[in-house]
Amino acid sequence: MDAPGAFNGHGYALRSDIAQFCLPAANRDANRKLAYVNSICLLFLVIGLAGLNPPKLEQKVPERAQEFVPVEIVQPPEPPKVEPQPQQEQPEQQPDTPVEMPQVATVVAADPSQVKFAVPVEGPVVFAPAKFAQAPPPAPPKPATRTVVKMTGAEGGTHPDPSYPRAALEQRQQGIVTVVMTVNPDGSIESVELKKSSGYVTLDRHVTQWVKSKFKFLPMDANEKRYFEKDFVFQLQ
C-alpha cells in the first residue's frame, strides 16, 4: 500500500478527491525530494556567484569650492557744482516823496467891531459873533499834597499795641509792618494804607484791621485831614 503505484499495479485508480486527500501515499511523487534538493542547491549557487562579484565602490571627488572675488562698485564722479551767478541788484525804487503843502490855518475871530488892533495872519480869516467863541479848557486840578508825620506817641488819643495773631505764632512768623493812616478832623480813622509789608499776609491784615477798629486821635478845629505813619514790630522771644 505504501509503495508508489501500488494501486495502479492492481488496476486501481482513485478518482475521488476525498479519497486522494485521505490516502496521501497514492499521490506521492518519488522525484519531489530531488526537486527540493535541486532548488536548494541552485539557491546556494546563485548566492555564491553573487558573492564572488561584489559591487564596485565608486569614490567621488568633491568639487572644488568656488572662490568669491570681491566686487568694488565704483560710483560715477559727481558732476561739478555750478555756482549760481549773483543777481545784479536792481536799484530800489524810491517812493515819491510827497510834497508837504503848507497848511493854512483858518482863524476865527470875534466880532470885527471888537478888534482894535491889526493881527498879521496867513490864510482866510472868518469873523464870528462873540457868543460862538470857545473858551479855553480849564486847567487840570493840581494833585493834593499830603504831609505824612511819623508817630512819636505824643499825638494824643488811643493807640493800643496790636496783639500777636495766633496763626502767626503757630507758624513762627515775625517782621515789621509799616502803615500810613488817614485821620479825619474828628479823630476817626478814614483809611489805612500798607506802606511796607512784613512778608506775611497774616501780620499785614491783622495790623490794618487793628488800626481801623482800635485807634482814635484827638479832634481838631481845622477842617483838614492828617496823615500819620507808624511801625508795628512783631518779634518772637
pLDDT above 90 for 97: no
Structural domain count of the chain:
2
**Is residue 25 pLDDT above 50, yes or no?**
yes
Q: Considering the domain boundaries, does residue 221 fall inside one?
A: yes
For residues 120 and 107, give the distance between their C-alpha atoms in angstroms, rounded to a whole number.
11
State the DSSP code for 79: P
Owning domain of residue 14 = 1-53
The beta-strand segments (E) located in the chain are: 107-109, 125-127, 148-150, 157-158, 175-183, 189-196, 216-217, 226-234
Q: What's 187's domain CATH number?
A: 3.30.2420.10
User: Is 6 part of any domain?
Assistant: yes
Does a structural domain hold residue 47? yes
In this predicted structure, what is the pLDDT of residue 60? 79
Q: For 111-137, what is each residue's pLDDT tens digit?
A: 556 555 555 555 555 555 555 556 667
More confident site: 128 or 86:
86
Q: Of 36, 53, 70, which residue sits at a domain end?
A: 53
Whether 79 maps to a domain, the answer reads: no
The answer to whether residue 90 sits within a structural domain is no
pLDDT at residue 44 tops 60 = yes
Query: Within a domain: residue 87?
Result: no
Question: Distance between CA 204 and CA 191 in Å, rounded?
Answer: 14
Given 34, 53, 72, the domain boundary residue is: 53
